[in-house]
Amino acid sequence: MRWFVLSSIVLSTASAEYITNVWQSQDFKTLVTFGDSYTDENRLGYFGSHNGSAPPVGVDLGVVCQISFFLSSLHGYKASTGGLVWPRYASIYTNSTLYNYAVSGAVCSNKITPRTFAAINAPFPDILGYELPAYLADSRHVSPNGTAFFTGTPDTTVYAIWIGTNDVGNNAFLTDSQVAGKVLNDYVDCVYDIVDGLYASGARYFVLLNLAPLSLLPQYATPAHGGLDSTPFFPDKQNFSGGNITEISCRVLETVVAVNGIYEYRTPFETRVEHAWPGANVANFNVNALISDVYAHPAEYLNGTAPLNTTGYVTGAGNISRSDRDSFMWYDELHPSEQLGRVVAREFVGVLGGESKWAKYW
């Protein structure tokens, strides 16, 4: 029995080294991202300015973002961070082409936690119902002159999914607003359904980002850590838990810890027990641990000219300079700052290299 256990450990270690080496040997040229406002550049804005209509197939919304990186004063580009979001920085750091399908306000599936986007009087476009089909349509699109819109190949394209902030937050599971009978495991199932759909289309490299430490955000933190009685994103907060924001914060913490525990074990189960995606490579990026480390050791990550700040937020600090902004973890009550986005992007690049301390590979 002891020999069997030791042999299993050796085989497991060898397998992990092999998987890591597979990632190390890849030269990723294309990044495809799915998610919510933590990842969105301007896709929700398109819906809002076109009466709820989706961008046409084969239209690159990212071109404006790339131009605005150099000419921000002319284009006024600003995402949820007040600047560029993490996937744009990741594409810059890796010199890769970005196809970003994230939509601010999105959840994994509107069949589980639908949330209304008032500007179009309809639910926010979700990943399962909109983002994934939009990518699949774009991946097959060929212009009249014969040019393919999507230029990625299975060996050089990595697919990243970061979703859950809205799924487990207010107007969803936090406030018991999910579809009747739906539970947290349905949300997790949805994430892996997205992987199923991408795999069926030919995708072979995946990075799954787990839930951020939402209980550290000003919107959900305890009063002792800068938690707010209400925010523009949660105006009716006082109507829940008797207005006890500590209780709300603790519920958010418990939910995030539970869901991330499922992520930790679900990926190896799907890949090594169920063999759900033969030939695929999946990395679990523990972005929760990374952001928690920024919170605990801000001097190692934040580099602005103002005093380092992990509980306040840029939009609540008055008129501050761009260099001061890099001292903050949060841009507003709910979203990471641009500097935190750079940190996530930098470590994401490390995940792609196959040796990140923030990732496990399967």
The tokens for 35 are: 């998610």
Residue 79, Cα to own-chain centre: how many angstroms? 14
What is the per-residue burial (b if ≥16 Cβ within 10 Å, else e) of 223-252?
eeebbbeebebbeebeebbeeebeebbebb
Residue count (the chain): 362
CA 176/CA 45 separation, integer angstroms? 28
For 178-201, what is each residue's pLDDT tens digit?
A: 999 999 999 999 999 999 999 999
**Residue 89 φ/ψ, nearest 5 degrees:** -65, -40
Nearest CA to 33 among 189, 186, 162?
162
Residue of 82 and 71 predicted with greater confidence: 82
CA 337/CA 298 separation, integer angstroms? 13
CA 245/CA 219 separation, integer angstroms? 9
* pLDDT given for residue 78 in this prediction: 63
For the chain, the structural domain boundaries read: 27-353
Residue 319: pLDDT band with limits 50, 70, 90: confident
* pLDDT given for residue 71 in this prediction: 35
Nearest CA to 203 among 33, 88, 24?
33
What are the start-end ranges of the H helices in 97-183?
132-140
The tokens for 16 are: 């992990």
State percent of the chain over pLDDT 90.
85
Q: Is 56 exposed, middle or buried (0-12, 13-18, 19+ CB in 10 A)?
A: exposed
Residue of 341 and 355 predicted with greater confidence: 341
The CATH H-level superfamily of 27-353 is SGNH hydrolase (3.40.50.1110)
- Give the 3-state secondary structure of residue 252: helix
The tokens for 284 are: 């679990």
Residue 277: pLDDT band with limits 50, 70, 90: very high
Residue 68: pLDDT band with limits 50, 70, 90: very low
CA 237/CA 235 separation, integer angstroms? 6
Least confident window among 40-44, 159-163, 318-322 = 318-322
Q: Give, in order, the Cα–Cα distances in Å from 4 to each of 1, 13, 80.
A: 5, 14, 52
The tokens for 342 are: 């750079």
Nearest CA to 209 among 362, 23, 358?
358
For 218-265, what is each residue's pLDDT tens digit?
A: 999 999 999 999 999 999 999 999 999 999 999 999 999 999 999 999
Amino acid found at 140: R
Over 80: is that where the pLDDT of 13 sits? no
Least confident window among 74-83, 93-102, 207-216 = 74-83
* pLDDT given for residue 20 in this prediction: 64
Residue 346: pLDDT band with limits 50, 70, 90: very high
For 89-130, what is each residue's pLDDT tens digit?
A: 999 999 999 999 999 999 999 999 999 999 999 999 999 999
Is there a contact between 336 and 329 (Cβ–Cβ < 8 Å)?
yes
The tokens for 144 are: 């009249």
Over 70: is that where the pLDDT of 216 sits? yes
Over 80: is that where the pLDDT of 62 sits? no
The tokens for 183 are: 């539970």
Residue of 305 and 322 predicted with greater confidence: 305
The DSSP letter of residue 336 is B
Can you name the residues that pair with 336 across neighbouring β-strands? 330
Task: Report the pLDDT averaged over residues 123-145.
Answer: 97
pTM: 0.92
The DSSP letter of residue 155 is T
CA 345/CA 357 separation, integer angstroms? 14
The tokens for 160 are: 């990243």
* pLDDT given for residue 61 in this prediction: 86
